[in-house]
Amino acid sequence: MSTELQLYTYWRSSAAYRVRIGLGLKGLECVQQPVHLLEGGGRQHAPDYAALNPQHLVPVLMHGRRAVRQSLAILEYLDEAWPDREPLLPDSARDRGRVRALAQLVACDVHPLNNLRVLQFFERQWNVPRDERDDWVRHWIGEGMGAFEALVADDPSTGEFCHGDAPGLADCCLVPQLYNARRHGMDVAAWPTLARIERACLALPAFRAAAPEAQPDAPPQVA
Amino acid sequence: MSTELQLYTYWRSSAAYRVRIGLGLKGLECVQQPVHLLEGGGRQHAPDYAALNPQHLVPVLMHGRRAVRQSLAILEYLDEAWPDREPLLPDSARDRGRVRALAQLVACDVHPLNNLRVLQFFERQWNVPRDERDDWVRHWIGEGMGAFEALVADDPSTGEFCHGDAPGLADCCLVPQLYNARRHGMDVAAWPTLARIERACLALPAFRAAAPEAQPDAPPQVA
């Protein structure tokens, strides 16, 4: 039943973007429930949403009445609940370890340092000026993407995509992170392997349909 | 062969602590290769270690000549490479999603904000005073552990441990994070379910043997 999946999402959330890509790669239809992270002090802090996710973060996937939280957990859930669809993870423990490590490099060590709640903390608690907040963001993207590039550049397991010639979990994380890099004025050409993989990804409908600008809750001026 | 596993570790690293617990729960022997994160400007930045992990972070698990990076990826690797040992994850996609989300709450949304490289950035780049750095650490631990408590407190899937009556992936992440909370002067009694689960964990040899103070590279005064 196509309407049994609902995604609590925000157009520019990097974590929600990952899940939208994964849903597209698995060919799963999903109803979007936008949660505006800036309006009204942030709709993620509203009591009904906080009851769904006490972390006050997007995304949350509803599968019927079951809530699945955390973007990487959601992506693995999709893979395990729909094993007949194109896999997001390879078969062997070794290869799965490689793909998960690349995904976690982004999801643990880059994105959480740069997300909205952290930047709001700097602005509101520490009065960090805008240009220093931007330096912070670029610093961690640079550290993380430099390491990602080193890990995929000369590895024979890298193919057209992060792992082999089919897109998967690592690509779901890489593309939104490069989108963030570009949004902060960084040149993705600094990471030639990542830039090449990004081009391969963006040639696929699942990645294009998941892009922030393509979302129903994107403001009209960016769509 | 018991010597085929080697863990690049640091006694007080929360991420390495998780993996040490997992190795113990799986009953796997492992040779420790300590990487001193403070000495000599940080041994994780030495060229030979950076070649092993371009992120300059611990832990890295070597399984023979194969490197597995990222603590959660390592724990899932152990589970998949030794399926005959006690599992770290439950069986169903639903339950696995719940456990992974709890683990990622810690590994994505709490710990990366508070680790050494971030606190060094604040000190060296922004001259943030010690007490404000401590406030930062406590803020994110408080946010994360409060949400963790809410997610497990009234959930029938919670048992003696985070999920049911056997320890697993979420417990591997919870216990080191509560250790960090205590180290920063926080009272874990604020999270009664987590405190109860921690007691159950610390009654087990695998958790006690993995504790920072029990490591060969811990300084004598804490051992």
Section B173-187 average pLDDT: 98
Name the minimum distance, in Å, from the CA of B202 to any CA of chain A: 26
Is the predicted pLDDT of residue A116 greater than 50, yes or no?
yes
Section A205-214 average pLDDT: 98
Interchain pair B113, A118: CB under 8 A: yes
Among B97, B118, B136, the residue with its CB nearest the CB of A77 is B97
CB < 8 Å to A154, chain B: none
* Cα–Cα dist B81/A93, whole Å: 6
* Cα–Cα dist A11/A9, whole Å: 7
Query: What is the structure's pLDDT at B223?
Result: 63
Interchain pair B108, A108: CB under 8 A: yes
Q: Is B155 on the interface with A (CB under 8 A)?
A: no
CB < 8 Å to A73, chain B: 97, 100-101, 104
CATH node for A2-86: 3.40.30.10
Query: What is the structure's pLDDT at A222?
Result: 81
Is the predicted pLDDT of residue A18 greater than 50, yes or no?
yes
Average pLDDT of chain B is 96
Q: Residue B116, SS3?
A: helix
> Is B150 within 8 Å of B190 (Cβ atoms)?
no
Q: Is B93 on the interface with A (CB under 8 A)?
A: yes
Structural domain boundaries of chain A?
Answer: 2-86, 93-208
Candidates B171, B223, B212, B221; CA nearest to B32 is: B212
State the DSSP code for B36: -
Interchain pair B76, A94: CB under 8 A: no
pLDDT for B63-115, tens place per residue? 999 999 999 999 999 999 999 999 999 999 999 999 999 999 999 999 999 99
Among B53, B73, B121, the residue with its CB nearest the CB of A100 is B73
- What stretches of chain B adopt beta strand conformation (E)? 5-9, 31-34, 60-63, 66-69
pLDDT for B35-63, tens place per residue? 999 999 999 999 999 999 999 999 999 99
Section A47-71 average pLDDT: 96
Is the predicted pLDDT of residue A219 greater than 80, yes or no?
yes
CATH node for A93-208: 1.20.1050.10
**Amino acid at residue number B132:** E
Query: What is the structure's pLDDT at A221?
Result: 84
Window from A161-170, A172-181, A213-222, B180-189 with minimum mean pLDDT: A213-222
Report strand pairing: A5-9 vs A31-34.
parallel
Query: What is the structure's pLDDT at B2?
Result: 41
Average pLDDT of chain A is 96
> Is A98 within 8 Å of A111 (Cβ atoms)?
no
CA angle A181, A187, A189 (to 5 degrees): 115
